[in-house]
Amino acid sequence: MSRYDVLCIGNAIVDIIARCDDAFIDDNNIIKGAMNLIDADRAELLYARMGPAIEASGGSAGNTAAGIASFGGRSAYFGKVAEDQLGKIYSHDIRAQGVHFATPPLAGPPPTARSMIFVTPDGERSMNTYLGACVELGPEDIEQDVVADAKVTYFEGYLWDPPRAKDAIRQCAEIAHAHGREMSMTLSDPFCVDRYRDEFLDLMRSGTIDIVFSNADEVKSLYQTDDFEAATAQLGRDCKLAAVTRSEHGSVVVRGEERVEVQAIHVDEVVDTTGAGDLYAAGFLHGYAKDQPLDVCGKLGSLAAGLVIQQIGPRPLLSLKDAAHEAGLA
Amino acid sequence: MSRYDVLCIGNAIVDIIARCDDAFIDDNNIIKGAMNLIDADRAELLYARMGPAIEASGGSAGNTAAGIASFGGRSAYFGKVAEDQLGKIYSHDIRAQGVHFATPPLAGPPPTARSMIFVTPDGERSMNTYLGACVELGPEDIEQDVVADAKVTYFEGYLWDPPRAKDAIRQCAEIAHAHGREMSMTLSDPFCVDRYRDEFLDLMRSGTIDIVFSNADEVKSLYQTDDFEAATAQLGRDCKLAAVTRSEHGSVVVRGEERVEVQAIHVDEVVDTTGAGDLYAAGFLHGYAKDQPLDVCGKLGSLAAGLVIQQIGPRPLLSLKDAAHEAGLA
């Protein structure tokens, strides 16, 4: 037994979400579809140009933790907010979803992180992230008993952007593996892969990471190839288990020589793709922690991802437990 | 000519919106469908019990100002936020919509106002409002040139809750009338009417207010009767022009002996009624300021109200100008 199915670790970010047209993305030199890291000055500038917005708790691994809890799973979260209004909102939302969250907030500046997310008419999201208090996440924030008592510890590749979070992750991997647990990561973003390619490959090949989540762009960036099949096969060799998402074409799960193809669910209209990958990981890991076969894990991932892209915001507004039940997956 | 079509004055509030079931409303002694005024302690308590939420700028008259701007009208807003993160979000959103907003924020505590809005499965919203910085709005916040240069100055009856806002409103009325402008108010909420019935009636009968917005519950509360027709007729005698909304039954506009009935638009599903009355007033006043006939004013109100209740949050996420064009109303 374990207290937690999945512990998620990531940058704790409040999303500020507005619609815009494609010209806005071009005019402001935003890389469309990507996570653009920005500093405080650029955050001010972009916010001044942004239309009326709504706010919602986000952060990639935070969304995954919330998704697992929405499925009825037991999840925990490590992430750094500041002691400010956005930090209180973030802490409220993740705890109210039933996620264990006890990382001490940062007393002083910088403030809680925010990402300005511009959603274009095609539903694609382009993120502009000011990391704020996230830069202070470090090994001192590790709750060792939680790591030891979680079946899987999952983190986002984005954690390689702040300076000391990677040290925390390496400590977690030692604790987790010493307790017979597994480590998992998402590659997060093709540009993030480009920044940390060698380190990510080393995490896999050294056995620090067991399970990897990726989308098609990320796995191709990882191996610097346009050949999706070759890249996915290589990913399967570089870690114990990998799930690679392909938007409306579903996902491919590889474990050694085993390969499972999973379909995407039918989507009426893509409203906002924010959180798609995070919720795929939530569904997959929820099933995985419950010892479901890989195809069911993948279907749970498809379900959660397909639902979250039909709404605004990165965390499902409805119960994923109910949705899984209706879909015959629980 | 005038610089502004409509100046709106109200409590500047950030909405914190979550779904709940009817049992939650009962268990927490919330008056369903009403604006429940709460203090800081109760705000803490309710927030601790609230599920994961999203945040959006709100405030009744703020929503009206944003709605008028979304129609392409020229609107201004007076309202008090604090110099905190929620205050910055509020200021951003209303300015980004194109509304003139220059009320100085409050430096110290209390913080920016927030309303915890619980949306039940029927789409009804129950608001729990902590007024925070709103209690500091006073005559010193009046931009006299803006009042003088707005065709209509509109305010919410809720402004009778904080201590000094009513003094500001009375000053505005003097300035507006001295410049040949009109004053308008919404009765806001049946319990608010109950708190300030005599003062509201005096505002109308003294000619301080020219145009009144109400819903069926409010007008019946005003005259302490269950007879909608009698109450509406009396409202028509007590002010120069009144519009009374009746949810899915549309609205009735009365001006002296003139009476215009306006249908509601077809609504597929009521998602969240927050902002319905505010957006009716936005559509009506936008038409009124453009010298449209009363039936067109009412139809613009119905359109805006009907659209906002089909989404989460109190301000329309799409362009009301485009919607009016599609509906043949612009």
pLDDT in tens, A77-94: 999 999 999 999 999 999
Q: Which of B3, B172, B159, B25 is nearest to B73 (CA)?
A: B3
Looking at residue B13, its pLDDT comes to 98
* 3 state SS of A69: helix
pLDDT (mean) for B37-53: 97
pLDDT (mean) for B243-262: 96
Domain assignment present for residue B49? The answer is no
pTM exceeds 0.80, yes or no: yes
Among candidates A51, A54, A317 on the partner chain, residue whose Cβ is nearest the Cβ of B55: A54
Residues of A within an 8 Å Cβ radius of B? 16, 18-19, 47, 50-57, 66, 84-86, 89, 92-94, 96-97, 111, 312-313, 315, 317
> CB–CB of A92 and B313 under 8 A?
no
> CB–CB of A56 and B54 under 8 A?
yes
Assign B266 a pLDDT band (cuts: 50, 70, 90). very high
Residues of B within an 8 Å Cβ radius of A? 16, 18-19, 47, 50-57, 66, 84-86, 89, 92-94, 96-97, 111, 312-313, 315, 317
Looking at residue B274, its pLDDT comes to 96
Residue B193 has pLDDT above 80, yes or no: yes
- CA-CA distance, B294 to B281, in Å (whole number)? 13
How many Cβ pairs within 8 Å bridge chains A and B? 62
Average pLDDT, chain B: 97
Looking at residue B257, its pLDDT comes to 86
> A80: domain range?
4-326
Assign A257 a pLDDT band (cuts: 50, 70, 90). confident
For residues A264, A34, A281, A56, the Cα torsion angle rounded to the nearest 10 degrees is -100
Domain assignment present for residue B236? The answer is yes
Among candidates A53, A97, A312 on the partner chain, residue whose Cβ is nearest the Cβ of B52: A97
Please count the CA atoms within 13 angstroms of the CA of A243 that sit on its side-chain side.
31
Looking at residue B169, its pLDDT comes to 98
Among candidates A47, A52, A92 on the partner chain, residue whose Cβ is nearest the Cβ of B47: A92
Q: Percent of chain B, pLDDT > 70?
A: 100
Q: Tell me, what CATH number does A311's domain have?
A: 3.40.1190.20
> CB–CB of B47 and A315 under 8 A?
no
pLDDT (mean) for B165-173: 98
Looking at residue A184, its pLDDT comes to 98
Average pLDDT, chain A: 97
> CB–CB of B52 and A93 under 8 A?
yes
Assign A170 a pLDDT band (cuts: 50, 70, 90). very high
pLDDT (mean) for B239-250: 97
Pair of tokens at residue B33: 């469908």
Looking at residue B105, its pLDDT comes to 98
> CB–CB of B50 and A92 under 8 A?
yes
> CB–CB of A86 and B85 under 8 A?
yes
Give the start-end residues of each E strand in chain A: 4-9, 13-19, 35-37, 54-57, 75-78, 100-101, 113-119, 125-130, 150-156, 182-186, 211-215, 241-245, 251-255, 258-262
> CB–CB of A52 and B86 under 8 A?
no
Looking at residue A114, its pLDDT comes to 98
Q: Percent of chain A, pLDDT > 90?
A: 98
pLDDT (mean) for B64-86: 98
> CB–CB of B56 and A57 under 8 A?
no
Residue B1 has pLDDT above 90, yes or no: no
- CA-CA distance, A236 to A255, in Å (whole number)? 6
Among candidates A19, A47, A89 on the partner chain, residue whose Cβ is nearest the Cβ of B55: A89
pLDDT (mean) for A249-257: 95
- CA-CA distance, A27 to A6, in Å (whole number)? 41
How many Å lie between the alpha carbon of A196 and the closest alpha carbon of chain B?
33
Looking at residue B210, its pLDDT comes to 98
How many Å lie between the alpha carbon of A162 and the closest alpha carbon of chain B?
23
**Tally of domains in chain B:** 1
> CB–CB of B97 and A50 under 8 A?
no
Looking at residue A108, its pLDDT comes to 76
pLDDT digits (tens, 9 = 90+) for B89-135: 999 999 999 999 999 999 979 999 999 999 999 999 999 999 999 99
Looking at residue A139, its pLDDT comes to 98
Assign B328 a pLDDT band (cuts: 50, 70, 90). very high
Least confidently predicted of B106-110, B195-199, B217-221:
B106-110
Residue A69 has pLDDT above 90, yes or no: yes
Residue A1 has pLDDT above 90, yes or no: no
Domain assignment present for residue B258? The answer is yes
For β-strands A182-186 and A75-78, DSSP reports them as unpaired
Domain assignment present for residue B18? The answer is no
Domain assignment present for residue B230? The answer is yes
Among candidates A16, A85, A96 on the partner chain, residue whose Cβ is nearest the Cβ of B52: A96
- CA-CA distance, A162 to A203, in Å (whole number)? 17
